[in-house]
């Protein structure tokens, strides 16, 4: 039997409605992980299919695919699997205008929501890879500020954000059901790029 080399490539793209089931599968696994941490984040039915479908419809949902290409004597075979997802929203968030603290900038910004990686692929830098691709999308849109928020007790997410260059900015309170009034820790990152790109 001949040696078959498997190449793994990454493809970051906008989500389609065909991706919704897989995105939900990844998010459902993430809900289980959050519950194990004792967090009430994502434990009340959110995000659900309607939320994910709206993200896709508004063209703010992205997925990271892992493409495995097999090179053998037979024809090249490739398989694709979605391993992570994120929402990149350019809309201004009302709770972000009432921060208890101070943002780094008051410029246009992209908000990260629903960043989630297949829990079966842990500690492989996939979330960081999604973030890198997201920053490239921001640069394409000439927006250099990324903002996000997380549950005050979600220590893994807080560590991940700080490790990837986000700065703690303060506290915000959510304004949408089912989490109206919930406290969240707010972060911002300024993307540093060569001026020549503008």
* Predicted confidence (pLDDT) per residue in 96-110, tens digit: 999 999 999 999 999
pLDDT at 122: 76
d(CA 134, CA 146): 9
d(CA 151, CA 190): 21
Determine contact, residues 137/112, Cβ cutoff 8 Å: no
Q: Which of these, 160, 176, 179, lies nearest to 187 by C-alpha position? A: 160
pLDDT-based confidence at 1, cuts 50/70/90?
A: very low
- 59 φ/ψ sector (left φ>0, alpha ψ -120 to 50, else beta): left
* Predicted confidence (pLDDT) per residue in 19-63, tens digit: 999 999 999 999 998 888 888 788 777 899 999 999 999 999 999
Helix (H) or strand (E) holding 113: strand 110-117
Q: Give the predicted TM-score (pTM) of the model.
A: 0.87
* Predicted confidence (pLDDT) per residue in 179-188, tens digit: 677 899 999 9
User: Region 80-85: what's the mean pLDDT?
Assistant: 94
């Amino acid at each position: 039997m001949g040696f078959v080399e498997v190449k793994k490539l990454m493809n970051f793209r906008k989500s389609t409605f065909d991706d919704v089931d897989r995105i939900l599968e990844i998010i459902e696994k993430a809900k289980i992980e959050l519950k194990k941490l004792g967090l009430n984040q994502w434990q009340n039915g959110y995000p659900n299919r309607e939320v994910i479908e709206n993200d896709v419809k508004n063209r703010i949902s992205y997925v990271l695919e892992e493409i495995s290409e097999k090179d053998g004597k037979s024809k090249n075979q490739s398989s694709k699997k979605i391993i992570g997802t994120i929402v990149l929203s350019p809309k201004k968030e009302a709770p972000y205008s009432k921060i208890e603290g101070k943002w780094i900038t008051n410029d246009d910004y992209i908000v990260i929501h629903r960043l989630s990686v297949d829990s079966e692929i842990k500690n492989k830098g996939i979330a960081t890879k999604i973030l890198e691709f997201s920053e490239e999308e921001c640069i394409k849109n000439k927006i250099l500020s990324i903002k996000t928020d997380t549950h005050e007790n979600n220590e893994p997410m807080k560590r991940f954000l700080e490790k990837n260059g986000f700065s703690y900015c303060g506290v915000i309170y959510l304004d949408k059901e089912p989490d109206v009034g919930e406290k969240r820790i707010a972060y911002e990152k300024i993307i540093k790029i060569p001026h020549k790109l503008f």
